[in-house]
Amino acid sequence: MEISIRWLLIVWITFVGRLQALQIGVGIADVTGPSVGIPFMGYANIDQKGQGIHLRQFSRAFIVSEHNQNFVFISVDCGMIGNGLRKEVLKKLGQKFEDLYTVNNVMISGTHTHSAPGGFLMDFLFDVSTLGFNQETYSALTKGIVLSVERAHQNLKPGRIYKSVGILLNANINRSPTAYKENPEAERAKYEYDVDKQMVQLKFIDDNNKPMGMISWFAVHPTSMNYTNTLISTDNVGYASILFEKKMNPKGSLIGKGPFVAAFASTNLGDVSPNIMGARCQLTGNECEPNSSRCGNEKDLCIANGPGQDMFESTKIIAERLYGKALELWNSKSTEVTGDIRTIHQYVHMPSQTAKYTDPITKISKIVTGCLPAMGHSFAAGTTDGPGLFSFKQSQTMPDNPLWNMLTSTLATPSLNQTTCHGIKPILLTTGEMKFPFQWQPDIVSTQLALVGKIAIVCVPGEFTTMSGRRLRTALRKALQLEKDTDVIIAGLCNTYSDYITTPEEYQVQRYEGASTIFGPYTLPLYISQFEKLASKLKGVRGDMISPGPTPAEFFNKLISLAPPVVFDNPQWDYNFGDCTQQPPASVKIGSTVSVKFVAGHPRNNLRHEDTYLTVELLDGDWTVIATDADWETKFIWRRLSFFAGTSEVEIKWTIEPHVKPGYYRIRHFGTFKYISGSKEEYNGTTQVFKVTKF
């Protein structure tokens, strides 16, 4: 009996000790930027200015803590992350938590939606198409990211992590297959598809088996919403997050308010499109020329579409497929992730990096170096997800446009070292040699690696193509002695944005991705070498010390902002702010769309974080909010009626989904108007009550 009691005591102490060792916290916060007037970041189309909201942006934070070792992974509904933004986030986290969450253990990854406001990267080339630096966007992202980490920290509790992997078909295609085919045939033969089809999921539950959150990584561009969209949207991955959170959170929870947090994070999506019907010439319907992605008629654009009839339907279909596979993985057999937590980080100056590179065909080895940043001519051609302007085309290795050659010479003529270093790339913008008005693209990037048990998460500062990601995963699996390539998770667009990373072979054909590989043809081998160095340092029990590397430059005193401020607002003649000028019908059927209009102020007067510009409310004893401007079925659209008079209106659309309960409803609008003196005042308005019926 004494032996049994002693044995039970040892088991109990061991069990309790394990529970107390691993702490997990999840948190979500609103990061929605200015919804009107600021161009979106992604398609580099200055005419794509925001006109409202379809889906709000969120930051989703996950903290894993074990024996005073912490790792924070943050997935943010934005285009990408910049050095300056991350530095500000770390500064504010340091003010709140001292040295708990630092440059070494905080990893911030952008989902890469192309339908969110820009102006926060603080590199001239990236912000020039968004009217320069925008303090509102920058502040919204900073505050929201920090708040999501605070909430995750407050929610820390004993928990467990599980990993699962599954194959998802019919959700992505390679948008540059001709470049992919330049990779060695023997290498391509190892893989069934020319894009990654595996979804990798980490599942977080507490020790009462209550779901806390999950992160799913699947390679796909959030470009289902195309370059004509002017409503803030988190695109396919953002809506997939919403669907999963609505499934897991208590019934009636509003979006962004429930305890369960689901992130669909970016990975090696560089050459991967969600527009699975493929590219076609829009005027003729003919197939595009495969190498250049051009049509015979210069006015005919080569654009990829699908799978829906329009961008909203396509976004919904891809999101539902992502959500469906993630839910299947959640409910399937998974492997528990156990072991130490280790993190390592280093800034590196890419142009001065060197590495040993062995040609996969000839097997000849040589020492390769990085280049100062530069963009090739094919960069200006855009992609089949969002074509560029003028006469540029992809796969352009010989610049044949005298006008653009003259522009290159006028802005800055590439030096001989640059042209030699970048090889076959014809340089359109030698951004690394252009210093006016300040840095055009980063030359110092963040590299970071985390180990959670036998799972490695590698933070890559850009968009790795499919094969680039495969090579990196294989190299790190070997370096860290992990069992499978899927034990290495690539977190894309992470900490720093430095455009694309192709394989040296893909670089040679100079598609968009190769032309945007800014550190030259050997960018990928340089990154692989750097991450192998980090892996070797991380093999110790807690990771060896490593130099922090060079500090990225700051440009706060040089930033340019061309976005016009809000001067003042006026109501329309004989109206007050919040008055409803277009009422809903007295009765509407499920499946229809209700459209109402209100006299409005400018939405930039108040971004209404953790709040909403609209509510749809059901009379159920009392008025109950059933939808906000973060819901898929609502659209918040703002229009300036007169710039000189300062008048504007908002239109709110609500599509009544089949699950909506018949009954009596109303729609409300909340806003803020600005006096000419600069002071502001809040207002609200409400429609008449209307009835929703089944038939």
Taking the C-alpha atoms of residue 154 and residue 631, their distance in angstroms, rounded to an integer, is 26
> Which residue out of 129, 148, 273, 498 is catalytically annotated?
273
Taking the C-alpha atoms of residue 690 and residue 55, their distance in angstroms, rounded to an integer, is 25
- The pair of structure tokens assigned to 28 is 């979500």
547 counts as catalytic: no
Tell me how far the alpha carbon of residue 145 is from its chain's centroid: 13
Please give the single-letter amino acid code of residue 161: I
Tell me how far the alpha carbon of residue 286 is from its chain's centroid: 32
Closest by Cα among 108, 104, 64 to 453: 64
Q: Exposed/middle/buried for 456, CB within 10 Å: 0-12, 13-18, 19+? A: buried
Taking the C-alpha atoms of residue 149 and residue 208, their distance in angstroms, rounded to an integer, is 23
Tell me how far the alpha carbon of residue 617 is from its chain's centroid: 31
Q: Exposed/middle/buried for 68, CB within 10 Å: 0-12, 13-18, 19+? A: exposed
Q: Are 65 and 22 in contact (CB under 8 A)?
A: yes
Per-residue HEC secondary structure of 629-690 comes to: CCCCCEEEEEEEEECCCCEEEEEEEEECCCCCCCEEEEEEEEEEEECCCCCEEEEEEECCCE
DSSP tag of 11:
H
Query: Following DSSP, what letter does each residue of 418-434 receive, concatenated?
Result: HHHHTTTPPEEE-GGG-
Per-residue HEC secondary structure of 514-556 comes to: HHCECCCCCHHHHHHHHHHHHHHHCCCCCCCCCCCCCCCCCCC
Query: Following DSSP, what letter does each residue of 232-269 receive, concatenated?
Result: E--HHHHHHHHHHHHHHSPTTPPTTTSS-EEEEE--S-
Taking the C-alpha atoms of residue 622 and residue 154, their distance in angstroms, rounded to an integer, is 32
CA angle 257/262/264 to nearest 5° reads 135
Q: HSE, CB side, 13 Å, CA atoms: give it for residue 189.
A: 3
Helix 523-537 to helix 466-480 angle, to the nearest 10 degrees? 20
Q: HSE, CB side, 13 Å, CA atoms: give it for residue 32.
A: 29
Q: Please, which residues have CB within 8 angstroms of residue 631's CB and are 6 or more apart in sequence?
A: 55, 242, 255, 616
- The pair of structure tokens assigned to 377 is 């001519």
Q: Are 137 and 232 in contact (CB under 8 A)?
A: no
DSSP tag of 299:
T
Query: Following DSSP, what letter does each residue of 94-155 receive, concatenated?
Result: HHHHTTSS-TTTEEEEE---SSSB---S--HHHHHTTTB--HHHHHHHHHHHHHHHHHHHHT
**Active-site residue list:** 273
